[in-house]
Structures are given as structure tokens and as C-alpha cells.
Chains A and B, each alone.
Chain A
Amino acid sequence: MTLKKILELLKADSLCISDSQCMERNFEHISATDLMSDALALVQSDSEKTILVTGLVHAQSLRTAEMLDINVVIYVRGKTMSETDYNLAKEMGMNVFTTKSSMYDTCGILYSNGLLTAVV
């Protein structure tokens, strides 16, 4: 599914766009966690097609995505980012979005629309 469609489903807003083409890219897998070590240990899917969904609004969620070669991050519960983190995200080429939905609802919406786990 295109990122554009995913963001529509989640009524998500953009916080930082580094790559304007990312909206048209197709994504298939979601890693949803607030525990960065879990993402680092469990994500096995193609990073190009994977999104990190997290409630952890901290530079470390961006760093974790960077190490995994993931460049789309969605924050849940309407969280926003600091200016420092925005600059870091730009530097990394990260695309960051925020949805007002909870982690539970976000995952439910994505799951019922056919997105798969990143733990394969």
C-alpha cells in the first residue's frame, strides 16, 4: 500500500519530510513497538517496505530506524518532535509522521487493511 494511503487511513500529519517521493512508495510491513531493542532484534522484513510505528518520541526511535535502514517513522497518540530531533531526522533522510490514534487503534487499522508484521 502506498504511504499516502496509509497516512490517509491513520489521518496522520507530517512532521518531517526528507524525501518527497516517499508518499508514492509501497509499504507492506509494520514494526510497532516502544522498545527499541525489540525492533533491533525482531525486524526481518525488507527495510524499504517497512514502517516503524512507535510511541517513543526520542532521538533513539530515529536512530533505531536509521540502523535498520528504515526511513519512515509514525508516532502514535499525537506526539510531535522537538526541533533538535527534526534536524536530526533531516540529517538522516528520515520521513516522520504523527497520528492521533493510540498504538492499539493504529495497529488495528493497519492490520485490517492488509499490512503485515515486520517480524517474519
Chain B
Amino acid sequence: MTITAPSKAPATLDTVIESAEKVADEVLSLELRKVDGTDFPAWEPGAHIDVHLGDDLIRQYSVCSTPDDLSVLKIGVLRTPDSRGGSAYVHEHLTPGTALTISAPRNNFPLLKSRKYLFIAGGVGITPMIPMLEQAEAEGKEWVLHYGGRSRTSMAFADELLAKYGPEKILLYANDEDNGLDLNAVLALPRAHMLVYACGPGGMLTAIEELCMGWPPGVLHTERFVAAELGAASSSEPFEVELAQTGGSVKVQPNQSIVDAVEEAGARVLSSCRAGLCGTCETRIISGEPEHRDAVLTQEDKDAGEVMLVCVSRAAAGCSRLVLDL
């Protein structure tokens, strides 16, 4: 998956492309090694890296190799009509042996502990799921993956997953074979102690969010597959939150929610589900640009940018400071 990233980047790693392989229509899989031959820093399923494609051109891609082998990092890149040509550049210029600067892996989409998992992937949204499936399997969890795409040939890693886990756990759907992914059916019966992880195009995630309103609050975790020209994505950089009521400000780390950071600093914010589903933590934004990650605000509210749910939502990429009515 691709997301637009801030131009100000964190510490970088020098890598070289080990292999570049076309794994589906329009999807290129790249394997990277560190130039100095050392291991990559440890990472967990759901992580992504920033890939520096040129002076001001940075794209984010989910890591789809295994965290057990830190000698390589693998990403899958879909060629999209991207105004700035990020993915086209990857497809046209990145060949084995090319040097590539990336960031260390960071995680905005961690796999939380649960007894059961339902994974739903649309298209190249499969990439962050691959290490997740591996972890769920290794931990002996009950899980299933529903993976949909335009056609079987457009679905990266589908055959590999099917061979590895079998048809009971890997359910594949292709629109052109008349068995497209029916989200209604997949989400018809909420299960206790089951989390839902979904990654794919915005339309698919919106439909999933609506269907999950019938599930217990907090079960759904999504990572939006944002075409480059669509809006800002969240920054994986720390950001500052100024507390207009309480006074002072707190720093929110990438792996921390605003609620956590504010509470740790000894200030207060009302919360309940802490999962972006109940609306309790709605907070007025005095200034700054949020990236909304909740499932309760309407699109209108999100666009208006006057309030945000601080248990899940963050500062948008490029916005290093939010002033909140806290």
C-alpha cells in the first residue's frame, strides 16, 4: 500500500535492491538488504517503511517479509495513477543492484492480542496482512483471510498464501470470476473475542466500517490504502499536542495515542472504548490538521476538521503540532 509521506524524514537506512520481481499484474515485489550487510532493526507485523524516491518524493509501503529474518525487507508496490509518479518510478527504475534509501520500519497498524482474527484484504492491501497471518498462525490463533481483487492475476501472493495455509483459511475472490468479495456475507455474524483487520482501497474500508457498526465497538482495525493524490496520511513522526485548557503541551510518540500521551503527562481526557467507536473522547481542534482514524465521525465532520477522536486519530503528515481543547 502507498501513502503520501511528509517531506521531512527521520533517520534513514542505506539499502540495495536484492531482487525486483513482478508478482501480479502491476505489482512489483522488491527485496532490500542493508548496504553494510547488517540486519534491519526489529519490526512487527503491520509495519511500513518510508521509501525515498527522489528529492522530495517519499512513499510509504507495508513490509511483507517475515520479522523472523531481519536480513531482508520485502515490500509490494502497485503501479497507480499517481500524480507525482511515485509508483511508476518504482516500476520503471528500481532494478536489482539499485541503491535505495529507506526509513527504519515503523508501525501504525499493530496486531493486537486477541483469541480470533478476521483478516480482509483488497488488492495490494494484502501486504501488511502477510506477516500478520504468520504471527496468528504461529500463536495458534483461530483466523481466516478473505482476499479480494479485480482478477486472480492482479492478486499478489495469492497462490503462495493458498499453498501455505490451505483453502479453509485463505478465501480468494476475483471480481472477473463472478465471485467478488461479498463483505456483507463476510461480516454478517460478529464473533466474540474476534478482531477484524482490514487493508485495501477506501471504498472497501468505508463499507467495512459501516458493517462493523453491528460488531462490538473497537474490533475493527484498518489501514487505508490511499492513492497518492488523495489527502494526507498520518505521520509516523512524533507530534506535539498543546493543551489549551490545561496549559502546556505533550509529545505523542508514533506508537502512542493522544489519550495515552496526555494521561501519561498527568493531564486528563475522557475516554471509554479507546478504539474510535464510541465518540466519548471527541475533542475540539483549535488548530492543526488531524488524520481521522475513527469510525464514528461522518465524512462531513472529518472534512470540517473541527473535532477529532483523540483515542485513535493523530496529527496529519506534515502537521507537527495540534492545539486541542483539552
User: Are A and B associated in one complex?
Assistant: no
